[in-house]
Amino acid sequence: MKNDLVLRVIGKLLIPFILLFAVYVQFHGDYGPGGGFQAGTIFAAGIVFYALIFGLDNARKVVPDRLVEAMLATGVLLYAGVGVAGLLLGGNYLDYFVLDSDPIHGQHRGIFWVEAGVAVTVCGVMLKIFYMFASRGERDRDVP
Amino acid sequence: MGLTAHLPALQVVLPLLAAPLAVLLRHGGFAFGLVTACAWAAFAAAIGLWLQVGALEGGTISYHIGNWAPPWGIEYRVDRLTSFVLLLVSGTAAIVLPWSRASIEREIPADLHYLYFAMFGLCLAGLLGITITGDAFNIFVFLEISSLSTYVLIALGRDRRALAASYRYLIMGTIGATFFVIGIGFLYLMTGTLNLADMAERLRGVENSPPVLAALAFITVGVSLKLALFPLHQWLPNAYTYAPSAVTAFLAATATKVSVYVLIRFWFSVFGESLIFEKLPLPQILLLLSLAAMFAASFTAIFQDNLKRLFAYSSVGQIGYITLGMSFDSVNGLDAAILHLFNHGITKAAIFLLIGGMVIGLARPGAVLPAPTFDRLAGLSQRMPLTCFGIVIAGLSLIGVPGTAGFISKWHLILAAMEKGQFWIVGAILLSSLLAIAYVWRFVEVVYFKPAPEGATKQEAPLSMLIPAWLLVIGTIWFGLDTSFTVGTATEAAMQLVKIGK
């Protein structure tokens, strides 16, 4: 679809806003509908959109496979790390109350990092699945 | 609060942290070191928990995740039975992981090694999580974590049939997990809580309502699929046969056992004995299915040509003994079930580890590993005396020869049957043990009495594989002679469960 001028222009125009909307959904998750899961999916959808227009190879230059794999792991680590931070600060595992001197602010801080972890992993998983399926044809061609 | 107060959380978190770190490292050797260290740390945590529960004299440890008190927050709950199963799962992982280094070298492409160890860590975290959590939905989440990683681990097998076996397990396992979560949904509908202890209290009085009975049916069938109760065991033989040897050993010792634990937990701690054993014909059904497993699966095992497959069918038969113990509705019956869960776990892990080492020894250097079929095993005892002798000892434990762990659990099972006055069951247990003699004898005959092929040289499995495997073999003898740990813990656990259920 690289030769489709309208799609290319619209895509270039829209993709930054899709990514921005993902970030909005992420940070708005505390107060309204949204959160890490949705944000991660929307962010990945932006990249998938880019890959559909400009091709998989170009998308791989933007978000390489190794980065995707690292994202999968980093999100989980971030989530579990918040739990361990609670442990180290003298609370139970995943205890947000101790993350700040003000317990309510501690809750905010905890949920923020946990949601960030969720977003990173979900985005990574979405992209991993997309890359796996999208590159199936190539791999079959390599093997006669 | 010191570190010891957080052991319930660390128990699950350590292997859970190891998995993503292994992915980030992208290096087989580092991943191996990390996951193995975490498995050993988890084993240490399990020992710590066992000591802590022991000091409580029949009490339970309750750990509040996120400092939210139950029933609102998620609670990790450790009683005698929990700590016993935690010991089995983390102990097996701690022994299988060092063993698996040399084995996956030959079985899995080098660029996938770090992913193998990551999956192993996740599977371990899932199984430990199922065991330790006191929250019904949390059990489902951990069940999915362990199941999904198990499917991947099985599919890593070098045989192409491993993919089909894994897919089959995926379908059956997903049906099981779906049934389980439907059951939880019904229970949540009736009680408004997901905390198991709270749920048990709120169920008193509404036990006979249709949603609760439906929940019981869904949960029982769903978990039975995962634990390979006789007619629902179809996924097991192929999965065990084609999975990498280390995975087979780990799963045979832990995955089905943890599912048995979930069933015991729901039957005795949540639904309560009066519903299960007095109002419904469940014990009769379970008794019939257990007997069918003991005879049909053991009988099928005799005619298998692949050694791994033979012992996979034997596993289905041995699970029959565990469920038989559960069907008695007595402290002694439950005691025998819990004992056999542990004893059979270490016995089967020993056997599958030894078979894995045998396969490595059979292969020419650099060649594809052969399947351990009987025609390749002729006269093997001269080439691998230690491996073969180990399998024979573990085989004796499967039969239930005095002096081995298998004897202790079968003895307790027979005592429980006699206590019920059902002497025909005693006969059935002895008869089905004869079938076990038949399939173990097949191995002995081929390995010890058939002449070895010309030009065969003595070649044992590598030491890094022999030592962990023999540790387990010695374990089967140790727990057959000194029963203070196993019988003591199992009896305490059974008494604790029956007390809750009344």
Q: Domain locations in chain B?
A: 282-502
**For chain B, percent of residues with pLDDT exceeding 90:** 65
Element of type H or E holding B61: strand B61-64
- In angstroms, the CA B154 to CA B169 distance is 9
- Selecting from B24, B63, B118 the residue whose C-beta is nearest the C-beta of A92 gives B63
Tokens of B123: 């599977």
CB-CB under 8 Å, B13 with A80: yes
Report pLDDT for B456.
67
Residue B67 touches partner A, C-beta closer than 8 Å: yes
Verify whether the Cβ–Cβ distance B21 to A73 is below 8 Å.
yes
Residues in chain A closer than 8 A to B24 (CB atoms): 70, 73-74, 77
Give the pLDDT score at A140: 56
Computed over every residue of chain B, the mean pLDDT equals 90
Of B24, B26, B65, the CB nearest to A93: B65
DSSP state of B75: E
Q: Measured between CA atoms, how close is A99 to chain B, in angstroms?
A: 11
φ, ψ for residue B98, nearest 5 deg: -60, -35
Distance in angstroms (rounded) separating the CA atoms of residues B124 and B198: 27
Q: Does A92 touch chain B (CB under 8 A)?
A: yes
To probe the interface with A, which of B10, B11, B24, B138 has the most A CB atoms within 10 Å? B24
Tell me the nearest-neighbour CA distance from B223 into chain A, angstroms. Answer: 28
User: What phi and psi values does residue B228 have, to the nearest 5 degrees?
Assistant: 60, 50
CA pair distance A79, B332, nearest whole angstrom: 44
Chain B CB contacts of A132 under 8 Å are: none
Distance, in Å, from the CA atom of B268 to the CA atom of B497, rounded to the nearest integer, reads 6
Check if A91 contacts B (Cβ < 8 Å): yes
In chain B the first and final C-alpha atoms are separated, in Å, by 35
- Sorted by sequence, the CB contacts under 8 Å of residue B130 that are 6+ apart come out as B139, B142, B143, B146, B258, B261, B262
Q: In Å, how far are A41, B265, B482, B502 from B273, measured between CA atoms?
A: 46, 11, 31, 6
| Residue B361, pLDDT above cutoff 70 | yes
pLDDT at B350 over 60: yes
Over the stretch B374-386, which tens digit does the pLDDT of each residue have? 888 888 888 888 8
Q: Which chain B residues touch A94 with a CB distance below 8 Å? A: 65-66
Binary contact (A83, B9; C-beta < 8 A): yes
Q: Which residue is closest to B1 within chain A, CA to CA? A: A90
Rounded to whole angstroms, how far apart are CA atoms B239 and B408? Answer: 29
Hey, are the CB atoms on B13 and A90 less than 8 Å from each other? no
Rounded to two decimals, the pTM is 0.93
Contacts of B126 in chain A (CB under 8 A): none
Mean confidence (pLDDT) of chain A: 88
Amino acid at A11: G
Q: What is the DSSP letter of B76?
A: E
pLDDT of residue B455: 66
pLDDT at A144: 43
Distance from CA of B67 to the nearest CA of A (A): 6
* Residue A72 forms contact with B (CB below 8 Å): yes
Nearest to B66 among A69, A76, A95 (CB): A95
Residue range B7-20: average pLDDT? Answer: 92
Flag whether pLDDT at B150 surpasses 90: yes
What is the distance in angstroms between the Cα of B396 and the nearest Cα belonging to chain A? Answer: 44
**Angle of CA points B497, B499, B502, to nearest 5°:** 105
User: Which residues of A fall within a CB distance of 8 Å from B64?
Assistant: 92
Inter-chain touch A80–B16, beta carbons under 8 Å: yes
The dihedral sign for the CA sequence B426, B429, B434, B435: positive
pLDDT at A139: 58
Q: Is the peptide bond before B451 cis (omega within 30 degrees of 0)?
A: no
For B281, other C-beta atoms within 10 Å of its C-beta total 10
DSSP H helical ranges for B328-404: 331-362, 380-383, 385-399
- As a whole number of Å, the end-to-end CA separation of chain A is 27
Separation between Cα atoms, residue A99 and residue A95, nearest integer Å: 8
Q: Are A42 and A28 in contact (CB under 8 A)?
A: no
Task: Tell me the two tokens of residue B417.
Answer: 């049957």
Q: Confidence class of residue B220 from pLDDT cuts 50, 70 and 90?
A: very high
| B34 touches B18 (CB < 8 A) | yes
What is the count of residue pairs from A and B with beta carbons less than 8 Å apart? 55
The shortest CB-CB distance from A80 to any of B17, B64, B67 is to: B17
In chain A, domain spans: 5-142
Instruction: Calculate the alpha carbon distances from B454 to A99, B348, B375, B377, B383 in Å.
Output: 71, 32, 14, 13, 12
Decide if B112 touches A, using CB distance below 8 A.
Answer: no
Check pLDDT > 70 for residue A104.
Answer: yes
| Residue B481: strand pairing partners | none
Structure tokens at B33: 């070191």
Give pLDDT tens digits for B227-269: 999 889 999 999 999 999 999 999 999 999 999 999 999 998 8
Q: Does residue B185 register a pLDDT over 70?
A: yes
Mean pLDDT of B21-40: 92
Record: contact A92-B17, CB cut-off 8 A: no
Residue A143 scores a pLDDT above 50: no
B112-B466-B85 Cα angle (round to 5): 75
Q: Is the pLDDT of residue B1 over 60?
A: no
- Contact (CB<8Å) B21/A69: no
B161 touches A: beta carbon within 8 Å = no
Q: Do A92 and B67 touch (CB under 8 A)?
A: yes
Q: How many CB atoms lie within 10 A of CB A29?
A: 20
DSSP code for B456? -
Tell me: pLDDT of B204 over 90: no
User: Nearest CA to CA, how far is A125 from chain B (Å)?
Assistant: 13
Residue B305, SS3? coil
Mean pLDDT of B28-33: 90
- Closest by Cβ to B6, choosing from A74, A76, A87: A87
Nearest CA in chain B to A91: B67
Query: Is B64 near chain A, with CB under 8 Å?
Result: yes
The closest of B319, B321, B299, B297 to B429, measured between CA atoms, is: B321
Q: CA nearest B95: which of B163, B36, B141?
A: B36
- CB-CB contact of B162 with B108 (8 Å): no
Are A53 and A14 contacting, i.e. CB atoms less than 8 angstroms apart? no
Distance from CA of B64 to the nearest CA of A (A): 7
In the DSSP assignment, the letter for residue B306 is B
Q: What is the pLDDT of residues B302-329, one digit of tens each?
A: 999 999 999 999 999 999 999 999 998 8
The distance of A140 to chain B (nearest Cα, Å) reads 17
pLDDT greater than 80 at residue A2: no
- All residues of chain A having their beta carbon less than 8 Å from the beta carbon of residue B66 are 86, 92-96
> What are the pLDDT digits (tens) for A6-54?
988 999 999 999 999 999 999 887 777 888 899 999 999 999 999 999 8
List chain B residues with CB under 8 Å of A129: none
Mean pLDDT across B131-151:
94
A80 in B contact zone (CB under 8 Å): yes
Which pair of structure tokens corresponds to residue B196?
């198991």
CA B455 to chain CA centroid, Å, is 40
Of the candidates B340, B441, B339, B341, the residue with the CA atom closest to the CA atom of residue B391: B441
Instruction: Measure in Å the smallest separation between the Cα of B128 and chain A Cα atoms.
Output: 16
Give the contacts of B193 (CB within 8 A, at least 6 positions apart).
Answer: B71, B199, B202
- Cross-chain residue pair B24–A70, CB shorter than 8 Å: yes
> What percent of the residues of chain B are helix, what percent strand, and what percent coil, each to the nearest 5?
80, 5, 20
pLDDT of residue B478: 93
In degrees rounded to 5, what are phi and psi of residue B142? -65, -35
ipTM: 0.89
Residue B410 CB contacts under 8 Å (≥ 6 apart), including other chains: B321, B340, B400, B429, B433
